Amino acid sequence: MNITIDVKDINSTVEVQVKGEIDAYTAPKLRESLFPLSEQANVSMVVDLTEVSYMDSTGLGVFVGLFKSVRAHNGEFKLIGLSERLRRLFDITGLADIIDIKSHAEGGLE
């Protein structure tokens, strides 16, 4: 199971593109790559999940932690490019009510 994480950190805006599967094996790599960035003051983090084919509860936990960290440092956090399946995962857990989420049709990296 592979994951690719491409990060662009430009002037307090962190754009992340994730490709592959987010599960118990790959979530630690995602967490290690993004948590230090989430602790920047006033950071704006946008994570593009367009090319994520699978995510389990471990992945959800990473995104909840990132969301909390970004917000604790007065930043903004957004997930974009969610497939219908991933969107449903966030809807069922209630996370779609607290995290800014856009589907494939609603947006890409600006």
All domains in the chain, ordered by first residue = 3-102 (3.30.750.24)
**104 vs 24, 30, 74, CA distance in Å?**
25, 21, 27
Contacts with 105 (C-beta within 8 Å, 6 or more apart), sequence order: none
Full pLDDT tens readout for the chain, 110 residues: 699 999 998 888 999 999 999 999 999 999 999 999 999 999 999 999 999 999 999 999 999 999 999 999 999 999 999 999 999 999 999 999 999 998 765 554 54
Q: What is the CA radius of gyration of the chain?
A: 13
